[in-house]
Amino acid sequence: MLRIAIAQLNPVVGDIAGNLQKAREARAEATLHKADLIVFSELFISGYPTEDLVLLSSFVKACERAIADLAKDTADQGPGVIIGTPINRQGEIYNSVVVLDEGKIIAERHKVDLPNYGEFDEKRVFSAGDIAGPVNFRGVRLGLPICEDIWGDLGVVEALEETGAEIIIVANASPYHRDKMDGRYSVALRHVIETELPIIYVNQLGGQDELLFDGGSFVFNADKALALQLPQFVEQIIVTDWVQRDGKWVCEPNTIAALPDALEADYSACVLGLRDYVNKNGFKTALLGLSGGLDSALCAAIAVDALGADRVRCVMMPYHFTTKESHDDAANCAKALGVSYEIVPIAQPVESFLSTLEPIFAGYEQGITEENLQSRTRGVILMAISNKFGSLLITTGNKSEMAVGYATLYGDMNGGFNPIKDIYKTRAFALSEWRNKNKPVGALGPDGEVIPANIITKVPSAELRENQTDQDSLPPYPVLDEILEMLVEQGQSVEAVVAKGHAIELVQRIEQLLLLAEYKRRQSAPGVKVSSKNFGKDRRYPITNRFRDR
């Protein structure tokens, strides 16, 4: 029998000592369960993605020292270790896994297929390894591809099968996006069918800037049966038992965790992404403006679920156009969530700005400039509170607004992180309704309704002028979001979007707004990626750009 521990853990990029300690603690737990081997995720020692950190020789050397220290631990005859780390070999930096046993590094394998699309740009910083055969670990031949090696078409897994591998173990740092688990299953099963070998898929967990790693590690046996499924969004170490039957290694049936549906998965991703951004960057508390609208209420709920009510501060900043309904909704939301809640009126500073600008603006009608002054005043106040108390300011604009530029630079866009940056408005409504009926595993907020029903049902408004609604200048959100998803996620042409039944004038106007708003998105806070194509790492358009799809 072979006993393999799978470590689905949350490393921190650059915290080499902390990641080493986490690996040691996990190995100690595996030792208690008499494991022969423990497997960690891709680049676990350094954290992933490293980006340009691996271009620093001191960083790579620190990782190599940590690996050497961990290798010494294996002299105790306990579990061997498979762990991801950057390695320098003759001046070439590789994304590698090393096998540690008997107090030393007994093998290393380098990533062959370096991804260079979407959020990945590994070809900038790593050299590609050569296809290599399996590693002999205590008499068992292990194939050790790394993440993209099983997604691409370079034949890495097939070569391992042809050279005698008995079990395929894949170290991954596969970021979350909606329905990603289906893609992972499909890729893994393709190799299981082609090679008739079992596969262990070990995935990283945790937030790293805009990326969110959801875990969800699993094992497929050679007969295509799912033998193990770890939960998403939760750290876990689990030990699997392997036996030989008819000359093949088989994983004995183990935990099959239920996977969340799409709404729960998106909400959990936003919670974990915000929690890790706050905690990994050393913030004690978070701060946001609570307007009585849907987006800020949803962000407040996410923040409380991520950090606990005692670490979240909400501020309502009313002006002349703020309705009593919004006052009541914001207060009721704060009460339901149990957060600190303060009211800071902005009439005096706004009118002071208007008075100061009056000589310059004389003879011009009031309009968007004066509306934006309200937003910018709120942004200044929130940034001052953030500065004074060291809180992370959460900005709350949804993807629909960011797409068409309905956000104010140096106003409501102020902030250090946006948990719903990749959530369209229609999705924000659905997530709010879902959260009022459910609470994800590990959430620190209260049960029950945390977003007052009136916030969800009322007509959305920025309340920057009398009787304003979002639909004064935008199509209904279901229409807008459908057009945006076709233009952004699917990369459809204007002609293709029109063929789906949308008026050509409307589609061209939305495309124009989408392209014009690029300069704002370049200056926006990072936020959790939950779609297949977010603004930032996945979609990069020039700001100066005269092309229009006509």
Catalytic residue among 63, 147, 270, 314: 147
Q: Is the peptide bond before 345 cis (omega within 30 degrees of 0)?
A: no
- What CA–CA distance (Å, rounded) separates 452 from 297? 9
Paired with 8 in beta bridges are: 236
* Cα radius of gyration rounded to whole Å, the chain: 26
Contacts of 533 (CB under 8 A, 6+ apart): 118, 488, 489, 491, 539
Structure tokens at 356: 């100061």
15 vs 43, 47, 215, 403, 469, CA distance in Å?
12, 8, 20, 35, 47
Q: Contact, 220 vs 240, CB < 8 A?
A: no
Host H or E run for residue 170: strand 167-172
- What CA–CA distance (Å, rounded) separates 125 from 123? 6
Host H or E run for residue 140: strand 140-143
Structure tokens at 162: 């042809």
Instruction: Verify whether residue 111 is a known catalytic residue.
Output: yes
Q: Contact, 1 vs 241, CB < 8 A?
A: yes
Per DSSP, the three-state class of 66 is helix
Per DSSP, the three-state class of 213 is strand
Measured from the Cβ of residue 500, the count of other Cβ atoms closer than 10 Å reads 11
- What CA–CA distance (Å, rounded) separates 254 from 252? 6
Q: Contact, 80 vs 28, CB < 8 A?
A: no
Structure tokens at 60: 């790579």
Q: Contact, 63 vs 85, CB < 8 A?
A: yes
Per DSSP, the three-state class of 247 is coil
- Give, in degrees to the nearest 5, the angle at Cα 161 between 155 and 163: 100
In a 13 Å sphere around the CA of 134, the CA atoms on its Cβ side amount to 21
518 vs 404, 429, 452, 489, 513, CA distance in Å?
9, 25, 34, 16, 9
Instruction: Verify whether residue 42 is a known catalytic residue.
Output: yes
How many whole angstroms from its chain centre is CA 251? Answer: 31
Q: Is the dihedral of CA 184, 189, 190, 191 positive or negative?
A: positive
Q: Contact, 204 vs 213, CB < 8 A?
A: yes
How many whole angstroms from its chain centre is CA 157? Answer: 28
Q: Contact, 183 vs 218, CB < 8 A?
A: no
Catalytic residue among 42, 210, 264, 401: 42
Catalytic residue among 22, 111, 180, 425: 111
The residues annotated as belonging to the active site are 42, 111, 147
